[in-house]
Chain A
Amino acid sequence: MNTTQELYSREDLARLEKKTKRAGRAAAIFAAVTLMICVLLCCLTTQTNAARMEKATVAASVLGGWIVIYLYNNPVKDLRYERGHAQMLLEGERETLEGVLELSEQRMRIRGSIRFYPLTLTDGDEKRRSKVIAARADALRAKNGKRLRLYVVNGYAAAFEEL
């Protein structure tokens, strides 16, 4: 008997939400620490050490800010996009595609959105295109070349069943 394998579960969604919050909190803490260091350096400034303190403050601000930008651009945003898509896959209306799976090796990204791998399902002469979220591509990669039934929401694979 064939079983349907879901790419995301409710537990995964809850886990993603937790991770998103944690990454956001880490970025916020880093920003607060940077600001506190800068304020402390300002408080320790006198007429004689002003030039040195200004350089130190700018250096702390630039480095701290860069780390915050990096944290926000990578873990926070990526997790947020993934969580949004996971929710869509769990709650969206599904359509079914059938065919032999061919999963691309080339990871792609829609600007300001999720990373994904394109895939094609070939059923006779008919080719149907879809995508799988990069974080869950490994589950499908093992089925490359096999005939599958794919459950798709808004063009993204939500679940599959080996035929």
Chain B
Amino acid sequence: MNILKNFFSQWYKYVFWALMSVFFWGWIFTLLTDAPAAKKLVLCVDRPALRDEALAETLSADRPEGIKLIAVHSFDYYIFDTEELRCADLYIVGEREASTYIESFRPLDDSGFAAGGRALWTHEGVAYGVLIYDAETREGAAASYIEYTAEGETPQSYYLFFGAESAHREDGAAATLAEILFGLS
């Protein structure tokens, strides 16, 4: 009873401490786990329902040589830092929104990735994206990690794009990660 009374009379101290803990340890863990762009691959997915940690863990099990960290984030993660969003290595974006981010994408020819017979997303005659989720068949890669279509939502196809600012075109790490991604169920 006394504990509850104290909690309610001094609630601001407890709330302040909780907020401080979240921000402080968040900052410490960012310092501990982050890696420089040259040793990091970032995949941004334009879906809110995403098992980002599980996908990152699965991709990390087979990460390309020289890569220390594979990060997977939904676009919501970058709500306060859109500049960071521009620097991702790979993107998964729906066909309806893809043209909005066209400046962040690298043409497929320049990505070092062999699309094979996969369907492509083109803009003004240039291919940028590779089909990763087909709205018609409702099948796609890494579908156990990414909920491509939520209930009540009009389905759309999703494409994998390569980042224009990616530091991993030359070493082929982004293309390798894309191949691993296509291999996931």
Contacts and interface: CB of A to CB of B under 8 A. Distances in A.
Interface of A: 38, 42, 45, 47-48, 50-54, 57-58, 61-62, 65-66, 69-70, 73-74
B18 interface: yes
Nearest to B35: A47
A58 B60 CA distance: 24
A74 B9 CA distance: 12
B29 A69 contact: no
A69 B3 CA distance: 11
16 contacts: A42-B32, A45-B29, A45-B32, A47-B68, A48-B57, A51-B53, A52-B53, A54-B26, A54-B29, A57-B25, A58-B22, A61-B21, A61-B25, A62-B18, A62-B22, A65-B17
Nearest to A48: B57
A70 B33 contact: no
A50 B10 contact: no
Q: Secondary structure at chain A's binding surface: helix, strand, loop or mixed?
A: helix
Given A62-B18, A65-B17, A66-B14, A47 B33 contact: yes
A65 B29 contact: no
Contacts of A51: 53
A50 B60 contact: no
Given A45-B33, A47-B69, A54-B29, A65 B21 contact: yes
B2 interface: yes
